Structure 1
Amino acid sequence: MLIVKVIKPLVSTNRIPDFEHKHLQVVQDGSTKKVAVDAVGAKPGDWVICVSSSAAREAAGSKSYPSDLTIVGIIDHWEPDPPKSPATPSAPTTPSTPAPPSAPPGNSSGGQSA
């Protein structure tokens, strides 16, 4: 099973007879868009559960149905993991160099002050 997001409906007026009147949806799986048969009435923006392979054909109505991805459930609440950002290497740290010692107090190059 897959968890995907419904993007928009896909309208196809010319279809083979086995497609009957099933709705099709464009779904997004990561960065890939796919077409799924909608067996549950999902809307754009819904997170849904999909099945593939022979389970998709049977969920769509028949093992002879020409589907390899079928929406079988609408998820009520889902918070997807945030996208992973590439790790940015931190700048190498260099040890700080100590400040040069200051001159002792009271020594100046002139004479005495008045």
Structure 2
Amino acid sequence: MLICKVVKPLVSTNRIADFQHKHLQVVLDGSTQKVAVDAVGAIPGDWVICVGSSAAREAAGSKSYPSDLTIVGIIDHWDPDAGKEMAAGKPQGAAK
């Protein structure tokens, strides 16, 4: 699973039939933009949980669905900077 931020919707009117009418979103995974199928109705600015691989296809509705990244949840609150000091080996409250 990945935590990503929704950047904007992606409109593609000319698609293969298997793609159906699922909404697509451009999401940011760190500094990389990716396209995800939106199974939950996310909007730009939302932090979301994404799954990949076979889990992405099942979450989109079918094991044969052509997706390798699907949004499966909208995060109620997420601080992307929380825990960075701990991960960098600095104790909380230490001078920067």
Bin the TM-score by the shorter chain.
Answer: 0.7 to 0.9
TM-score by length of structure 1 reads: 0.71
Give the total of aligned pairs: 83
Matched, 1:69 2:51: no
TM-score (norm 2): 0.84
> Higher relative CO (CA 8 A, sep ≥ 6), structure 1 or 2?
2
**1:32-91 CA-partner distances (Å, limit 9, x unpaired):** 000000000000000000000000000000000000000000000001027x7xxxxxxx
The equivalences for 1:101-112 within 5 A come to none
Structure with higher strand content: 2
Partners of 2:69 and 2:21 lie apart in 1 by 16
Specify every segment of 5 or more residues in structure 2 that has no aligned partner in the other structure, as ranges: 85-96
RMSD: 1.0
Unaligned runs of 5+ in 1: 85-114
Runs of 4+ in 1 over 2 A off after TM superposition: none
State percent identity of aligned pairs.
88
